[in-house]
DNA sequence: TTATACTTATGACAGATATCATAAACTGAT
DNA sequence: ATCAGTTTATGATATCTGTCATAAGTATAA
């Protein structure tokens, strides 16, 4: 595409962010964004954003997998959601607060695209169509998270586990066979139940031949049944 | 105020929406908004917005109290949150989807200010500062809801109940003595537990002299202890 | 008013989940 | 290779929560 040729720094395929910017900004403005934005790679376990720190950048996940979570001293983490490539990961509060409200941590080797927040705000304030599009995308992201949280909330333990396994299989890896990118403890923190019970439920799913497990590798062998459990369990 | 005199249709004290519009729109634009917007009163139990219907209006709660909830046939409702005057109540998905994703129902006699969505979108698209301010307010509302949902999620039954009682006392009625605007069943739908257990826990709070109950009237008699339970319970 | 449905309340019990204990497997650092 | 710490796994048990049953109180409409 000629557009990409014009912006050698913004050549990532599938970049929603680029779409967002391209659709509304001039060639010069694009040049500005593309020269300012920075990529950075993170190893699993590395914090991308730490809660309570000053909001300085807008983050976008290009590669890998991350968790959005609350860290509470003396208490288990709470995982808000798990975000995949092309998701906006700095969502809540970045416009309405001056500190990040939650922590973002890499689960897999990840590459994050970072744009100075003042620049993004500047564009939003002088380009209404851009701001409007940005608002739509941010609100869509938040909506999905809240919906997911409410869905998880109403399910029993096995339902929560099935829901999470299906999220990995259907939405993240798009494959019945996948490598779990989280520990059992993290699944528990996501579901809001105890680690032991997640392990137990995994074993029962295995015994009932809904899944096969070898270490971190999971294969869903009875998709239909697992979907039932995630809806009604 | 002279501003109010200029816009006789928009004279409500404490209107956040008016602030939002006044700050960014011209006198003519304000005239347009003020002549188009409509108030409507709703009786308790009346639906203000029904999920799955077309997004046509932007809603703002002027008086009363409402619940935002998901209705599922054959299953109990899920209450997302309870909104009080000056809250934006049409939040999730109104910009990113063409149907409302949840239902809004009055809990107390309520007055809602309604503005045609196309008009709001029109202003947002041609006035960047207005759109930016709107985005901030909407995202702040959603942030608070998600935070509240995550807080509720990690608490045990008594913690959830204490949290909800404190929300009524501290955030909504700003009084230790208040009239419960919801049934025990609705508290249960909000907390995500069974109605019987909410009733039982209320009785125990009464026996432990944390609250006094007479019908719908609740008085918090041991605030400190109730706050402890809502934090660590 | 009576009749009906709903709400509040409590007890009994079953089922779900957390907690504690133990141990094997795995991981990373030395 | 070894050690320490973490993760996975399973059992036993206590606690929490849901479900079912019953009944009294309350509101609403005919």
Tens digit of pLDDT for each residue in B62-93?
Answer: 999 999 999 998 889 999 999 999 988 988 77
Separation CA A232–CA B75 (nearest Å): 10
Instruction: Determine, for residues A126 and B127 on separate chains, whether the beta-carbon distance falls below 8 Å.
Output: no
Parallel, antiparallel, or unpaired for β B211-214 and B110-116?
A: unpaired
Question: And the tokens for A126?
Answer: 């002088």
Separation CA B215–CA A54 (nearest Å): 47
Separation CA B57–CA A219 (nearest Å): 46
User: Could you tell me if A199 and A210 are in contact, meaning their C-beta atoms sit under 8 angstroms apart?
Assistant: no
Q: How much is the pLDDT for A5?
A: 47
Taking the alpha carbons at both ends of chain B, their separation in whole angstroms is 48
Whether pLDDT at B5 is above 50: no
Name the packing angle between helices A157-166 and A184-191 (round to 10°): 110
Q: With a CB-CB cutoff of 8 Å, which residues 80-109 of chain B face chain A?
A: 80, 91-97, 101
Chain Cα centroid distance, residue A215: 24
Q: How much is the pLDDT for A88?
A: 87
Best probe of the B interface among A97, A102, A143, by most B CBs < 10 A, is: A143
Instruction: Give the distance, in angstroms, between residue B185 CA and nucleotide C4 C1'.
Output: 20
Name every residue whose Cβ is closer than 8 Å to that of residue B134 and which is 6 or more positions away in sequence.
A135, B20, B120, B124
Residue B202's Cβ-count burial label (10 Å; 0-12, 13-18, 19+) is buried
Q: How much is the pLDDT for A3?
A: 44
Q: Which helix (H) or strand (E) holds B6?
A: helix B2-6
Instruction: State percent of chain A over pLDDT 70.
Output: 96
Best probe of the B interface among A95, A149, A160, A193, by most B CBs < 10 A, is: A95
Name the closest residue (CA) to the C1' of nucleotide D11.
A200
- Please give the model's pTM, rounded to 2 decimal places: 0.94
Q: How much is the pLDDT for B14?
A: 79
Which runs of E-coded beta strand occur in chain B? 38-42, 47-49, 57-63, 66-70, 78-83, 103-106, 110-116, 177-179, 211-214, 217-220
Separation CA B68–CA B112 (nearest Å): 14
Judge if the beta carbon of B216 is closer than 7 A to nucleic acid strand C: yes
Judge if the beta carbon of A156 is closer than 7 A to nucleic acid strand C: yes
Q: How much is the pLDDT for A2?
A: 43
Q: How far is CA B213 from each of CA A56, B173, B210, rounded to the nearest angstrom?
A: 49, 16, 10
Whether pLDDT at B4 is above 50: no
Tens digits of per-residue pLDDT, A118-148? Answer: 999 999 999 999 999 999 999 899 999 999 9
Separation CA B153–CA B85 (nearest Å): 25
Taking the alpha carbons at both ends of chain A, their separation in whole angstroms is 48
Instruction: Determine, for residues B96 and A137 on separate chains, whether the beta-carbon distance falls below 8 Å.
Output: yes
Question: And the tokens for A100?
Answer: 């990040």
Q: Return the residue of B nearest to A148 by Cα.
A: B146
Angle at B151 between CA B147 and CA B152, to 5 degrees: 120
Instruction: Determine, for residues A139 and B101 on separate chains, whether the beta-carbon distance falls below 8 Å.
Output: no
Separation CA B107–CA B123 (nearest Å): 32
Instruction: Give the distance, in angstroms, between residue A182 CA and nucleotide D20 C1'.
Output: 40
Whether pLDDT at B21 is above 90: no
Backbone angles phi, psi at B23, to 5 degrees: -65, -25
Judge if the beta carbon of B202 is closer than 7 A to nucleic acid strand C: yes
Whether pLDDT at A6 is above 70: no
**Contacting residues 161-180/A vs strand C (CB within 7 A):** none
Q: With a CB-CB cutoff of 8 Å, which residues 5-44 of chain A face chain B?
A: none
Name the closest residue (CA) to the C1' of nucleotide C20.
A196
Question: And the tokens for B70?
Answer: 């998901």
Helix H, strand E, coil C: the string for B171-218 is HHCCCCEEECCCCHHHHHHHHCCCHHHHHHHHHHHHHCCCEEEECCEE
The overall average pLDDT reported for chain A is 92
Instruction: Determine, for residues B126 and A131 on separate chains, whether the beta-carbon distance falls below 8 Å.
Output: no
Q: How much is the pLDDT for B91?
A: 80
Across the range A170-180, mean pLDDT stands at 97
């Amino acid at each position: 595409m000629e557009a990409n040729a014009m912006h050698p720094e913004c050549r990532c395929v599938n970049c929603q962010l680029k779409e967002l910017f391209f659709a509304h900004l001039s060639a010069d403005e694009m040049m500005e964004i593309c020269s300012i934005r920075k990529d950075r790679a993170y190893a699993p376990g590395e914090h991308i954003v730490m809660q309570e720190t000053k909001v300085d950048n807008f983050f976008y996940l290009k590669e890998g997998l991350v968790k959005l979570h609350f860290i509470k001293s003396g208490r288990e983490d709470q995982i808000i959601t798990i975000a995949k490539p092309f998701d906006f990961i700095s969502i809540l509060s970045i416009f309405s607060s001056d500190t990040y409200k939650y922590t973002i941590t890499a689960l897999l080797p990840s590459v994050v695209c970072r744009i100075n927040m003042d620049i993004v705000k500047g564009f939003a304030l002088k380009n209404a169509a851009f701001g409007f599009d940005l608002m739509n995308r941010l609100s869509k992201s938040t909506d999905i998270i809240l919906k997911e949280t409410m869905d998880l909330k109403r399910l029993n333990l096995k339902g929560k586990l099935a829901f999470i396994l299906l999220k990995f299989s259907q939405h993240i890896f798009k494959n019945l066979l996948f490598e779990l990118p989280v520990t059992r403890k993290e699944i528990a923190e996501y579901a809001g139940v105890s680690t032991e019970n997640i392990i137990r439920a995994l074993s029962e799913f295995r015994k009932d031949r809904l899944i096969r497990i070898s270490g971190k590798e999971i294969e869903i062998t009875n998709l239909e049944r697992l979907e039932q459990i995630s809806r009604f369990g």
